[in-house]
Structures are given as C-alpha cells and as structure tokens.
Amino acid sequence: MSVTNETSAPRFTDLVRTHQELDSAMCPQRLVLEHVTSRWGVLVLLNLLDRPYRFSELRRAIGRVSEKMLTQTLQTLERDGMVHREAHAVIPPRVDYSLTPLGREAAERVREVAEWTQARLDRVMAAREEYDARREERSAG
C-alpha cells in the first residue's frame, strides 16, 4: 500500500507547468507575485511584520515613497487579502494598517529572502566584481 503526503514538494512537471503559466502576463499567480515582490510591496510587508502602522508612520518608516505610491501599494495588498485597513471614527481621522494571517505568511517569506540576501551579500558583490573584470578584459582585448 502506498502512502501519499500532500505536503511533499511539488513534482518537476508541476513546476514546469507553473513556470509556463507565469509567462502569461495575466496569470493571477504572477500578478500576486508581482504585488508581493514589488519595490514598495516588500517594504510594506516587512515593516508591517513589526506592528500595525498609521499611514504617515508607515510612509516615514519606508522612506522615499510618495503618498500616491504607498496608497496604491496598500490598496493592492489589501485587495489581495494581505493587508487589513481599519478606519477609526475619530477626529482627526485615523486609519491603521496591519497584516492579515495571509499577509503575515507572505511577509515572513519575504523576510527569509531579505535575510538570505543579507547573509550572501559578500558573495554577490564578489560575483559582480568578477563579472565586471571579465567584461573589462573582453572590451579591452
């Protein structure tokens, strides 16, 4: 009798199919991936991992993001079910942003990639230097 494990790694054929589907510009998986890994999406998710933020606090924490871009990013992530927006009926108006369970899961994965990047930065920089040196040799020779 064979036992199947539903949590096992995907088969190669499943990965190939998924990769091919990602090539379609309108693939829902690709769109969500773009939202989560966008320049501002990454920073929103990482910051909201710490705690809920008000809009202006989040904007200051991220830095160099326009009001319009942060608004669009938050709306996109809210629509994808990753960010919760809570408007408080007070004067002045107050809106808090936090991660949903789905958003927390995505943010933790993004953090893993950020930590991997930090841990391997020296290797990346060395590879860049080697690449640039080879390019210089070819163009000089």
pLDDT of residue 4: 46
As a whole number of angstroms, the distance between CA 53 and CA 58 comes to: 6
Cis check for the bond before 52: say yes or no (omega within 30 of 0): no
As a whole number of angstroms, the distance between CA 94 and CA 84 comes to: 14
Contacting residues for 26 by C-beta, under 8 A, at least 6 apart: none
pLDDT of residue 21: 67
Contacting residues for 53 by C-beta, under 8 A, at least 6 apart: 47, 61, 96, 97, 98
**How far, CA to CA in Å, does 13 sit from each of 4, 29, 31, 121?**
17, 17, 22, 32
pLDDT of residue 15: 56
Which amino acid is it at 109?
A: R
pLDDT of residue 141: 77
pLDDT of residue 27: 87
pLDDT of residue 117: 97
As a whole number of angstroms, the distance between CA 44 and CA 99 comes to: 10
What is the mean pLDDT of each successive set of 10 residues along the chain, which is 141 residues long? 52 60 76 96 98 98 98 99 98 97 99 98 98 96 77
Read off φ and ψ for residue 65, nearest 5 degrees. Answer: -115, 135
Domains in the chain with CATH codes: 12-140 (1.10.10.10)
pLDDT of residue 104: 99
pLDDT of residue 9: 63
Specify the pTM. Answer: 0.80
Structure tokens at 46: 């990482």
